[in-house]
Amino acid sequence: MTIRFAIFDMDDVLCAYDVGGRIRKLADFAGRTPEEVSRDIWESGFLHEADNGRWDADAFLKEFGDRLGAPIDKETWLAIRRTSMQPLPDTLALVRRLAGRMPVAVLTNNDALVAREIDALFPALRGLFGNRILVSATLGWAKPDPHCYLAACKWLAFNPTETFFTDDLQVNVEGARMAGLTGHRFRGAGALALALQKAGAL
């Protein structure tokens, strides 16, 4: 099948995401240990529920503060999230090159606050992807559930069997393949370029 569309994960594909650094900053803010923050937010299932759209942006922020043990305002939350994200220029350059050949999109497992504030978090995305930036909370399904990819393709008007998908997590790549997409596990821009060439996209 000819590849006519491409979808990219965000964290650890388009940007390097320092989860540990983010947890440490949140711990400093809340006056808690990183282990406590990791336990109450990352290991509790809260973020998975948020990725599936359980809370809208404002309710998510309040719930986040409750679990953090300290109310956190939007600007502080965004600043800490943003400093944990470092754009990967080689991948972004590859996206720009590919965008000259076919429609490209983002599909990231994230909460409704990220969906609403994506331009503040990662300003470079809009110029590359336009309105094709999808957050799982908006879709009501999170990767690796095949429904997530199918919902994304429906929203984007992409044919799944003609869509190339890349993610840093193998489980998410397998979910994409179950939905009929061509999946590639991201290990760097060079390997991604080779995979795109092999698929006939470049």
pLDDT score at 180: 98
Report the C-alpha gap between 201 and 186 in whole angstroms: 16
Report the C-alpha gap between 142 and 135 in whole angstroms: 9
Residue matched to tokens 């060079």:
190
Give 185's DSSP letter. E
pLDDT score at 101: 96
Q: Which fold is adopted by the domain 18-83?
A: DNA polymerase; domain 1 (1.10.150)
pLDDT score at 191: 98
Q: Between 2.160.20.10, 3.40.50.1000, 3.30.70.1730, 3.40.449.10, what CATH number should domain 5-16+86-198 receive?
A: 3.40.50.1000
Q: Where are the domains of the chain?
A: 5-16+86-198, 18-83
Enumerate residue ranges in the chain where pLDDT < 70.
Answer: 1
